[in-house]
Each structure stands twice: as C-alpha cells, then as structure tokens.
Amino acid sequence: MSAVPAASAYELVLALHVMAVVVAFGVTFAFPIMFVVGGRSDPSSLPTLHRIEYSIERFLINPTLAVVLGAGIFLASDGHHWSEFFVQWGIAAVVVIGAALGAVMIPTAKRAEELARAAVSASASGEPEMGGEYAAAVRRLNLLGSALSALVLVTIAFMVVKP
C-alpha cells in the first residue's frame, strides 16, 4: 500500500495564503453588481449596501489581509524568497491595499451611506435624489475599488509567474 506523502509546513502555509486571498478579495469582485442591482431595483437599499460594503472591508478584508501578509512572510522566509521581486511586490500591494481601505475606501463608503440615508429620508415615498456629493463619493469608490481589484489580479499573476 503506497503511503500518502505528508504535506510540508510550507505547503500548508501556502494553502492558507491562497485561502486568505480568496476570502479577502473574492467578495470585492461582486460589489459592482450589488450596487447596480440595488440602485436600479430599490435605491432606498443604497445606505444599507454602503454599510455592508465598509463592514466587509473592516471585519473581513482587513483581518484576512493580515493573514495573507503573515503567511507570505513565513513562505518568503522558509523558501528563501526575500530577494525576489514578486515578494517585494506582494508587500507593496498589501501596504497599498491596507492604506487605501483605511484612508479612503472605508471613510468614503461611510460618507456615501450618510448622504444616501439623508436623500432617502428627504424623499418621503418618491425616488430619492442622491445629489452631486453622493455621485462624487461613488465615483471615488468605483475608481479606487477597480484599481485595487486590478492590483489584486496583477499580484496573483506575479506570485504565480515570479517574473
């Protein structure tokens, strides 16, 4: 009977690293659909959708990003990868994503929630008029959100290809 080879610590941590990437960023690719469907079918859902957006960023993405970083540090040390470009890129990506979430995405989503809630309250039972400041906040969220999604995809490509 052939024995199943045991997984090494490196392989287990690599699996954890990739799982954390999926858990942290998977949902973010669905955000645009969530907002388009919510905005078209029921604009009064927009304040709640923004609250869901920044709650996911705070309570799911931020902690899981720390797992991606911690596992990455183990892999880079155990596998002697510190001098390689893909590792330096990965660290820069984690710093940029963490800073963008804390400094822009979360505060802007909170502001968008407030503005949307005020518009919904002011509209009584009619269609809420969201206004220019709300549109600007959503534009910022969309632009930066798309850039971060692209950064995640490029980082995955660099981690696999190791240029």
* The binder of ligand HEM chosen from 49, 61, 93, 138 (CB under 6 A): 93
Q: Between 94 and 118, whose beta carbon lies closer to ligand HEM?
A: 94
Q: Between 69 and 138, whose beta carbon lies closer to ligand HEM?
A: 69
Residue count (the chain): 163
Q: Say if residues 60 and 21 touch (Cβ distance below 8 Å).
A: no
Closest by CA position to 141, among listed 96, 99, 98, 111: 111
* The binder of ligand HEM chosen from 46, 49, 61, 87 (CB under 6 A): 87
User: Scanning the structure block, which residue is given the tokens 């990455």?
Assistant: 72
CA distance 107 to 100: 10
Tell whether residue 60 is a contact of ligand HEM (CB under 6 A). Answer: no
Distance of closest approach, residue 88 Cβ to ligand HEM, in angstroms = 8
Burial of residue 72, with CB atoms counted within 10 A of its CB: 0-12 exposed, 13-18 middle, 19 or more buried = buried
CA distance 77 to 83: 10
Tell whether residue 18 is a contact of ligand HEM (CB under 6 A). Answer: yes
* The binder of ligand HEM chosen from 23, 60, 94, 104 (CB under 6 A): 94
Q: Under rule CB under 6 A, how many of the chain's residues touch ligand HEM?
A: 22
- Judged by the rule CB under 6 A, the positions of this chain that interact with ligand HEM are 14, 17-18, 21, 68-69, 72-73, 75-76, 79, 81, 87, 90-91, 93-94, 152, 155-156, 159-160
